[in-house]
Homo-oligomer: A and B are copies of this chain.
């Protein structure tokens, strides 16, 4: 099974009007995605934010559970947050993943707005092949990843759809569903 990483990206992302913005980090996103990353055996959840104050906030969320009250309080939270890394941009996440896995990860773009893309069973079987390269899922906050991120990607995943054409899931639900489709039992 290929090494899998996930990057939660706060810039460049879109707002509701399609403008390129930087979104704020929320502690619940870190917790929910870290727990999903641990459940589906990802190597690392990268929290990507260009603003140092925001990265310090994210670090305080993680450290609370690693070192303080949380350590004794809930070991499962700690196990999840141990796989979180906070970085300033996607290049830093890619460099860390390449260093850890020994090969540059394929960048996998996710979006609710894509009209087509690689299917989940296709990517899953690629990742389950022997000697499959590592992969990194790029997940946008706000109203999704800016086009510049899509242009860097090696693979564009199809959107998550149910029976209807409404697909306005929260990032917390969407990330869990994408991981389940690629790694669920």
| Chain A contact residues, CB within 8 Å of chain B | 1, 16, 28, 31-32, 35-36, 38-41, 74, 76-77, 79-80, 160-164, 166-170, 172-177, 179-181, 183-185
Contacts and interface: CB of A to CB of B under 8 A. Distances in A.
B183 A39 contact: no
A176 B169 contact: yes
Chain A binding site: helix, strand, loop or mixed by DSSP?
Answer: helix
Interface centre among A74, A173, A184, A185 (most CB of B within 10 A): A173
Contacts of A162: 39-41, 179-180, 183-185
A180 B183 contact: no
Contact of A181 (B80, B169, B184): B184
A3 to B, nearest CB: 12
Nearest to A80: B168
Contact of A36 (B32, B40, B77, B173): B173
30 contacts: A1-B163, A16-B74, A32-B172, A32-B173, A35-B168, A36-B169, A38-B166, A38-B168, A39-B160, A39-B164, A39-B166, A39-B167, A39-B168, A40-B162, A41-B163, A41-B164, A76-B166, A76-B168, A80-B168, A160-B184, A162-B179, A162-B180, A162-B183, A163-B183, A169-B176, A172-B172, A172-B173, A172-B176, A173-B176, A177-B184
A169 B176 CA distance: 9
Nearest to A159: B185
In the complex, the 9 A-B pairs of residues with the closest C-beta atoms, listed nearest first: A173-B176, A40-B162, A32-B170, A76-B168, A39-B162, A177-B180, A41-B163, A161-B185, A172-B172
A74 to B, nearest CB: 7
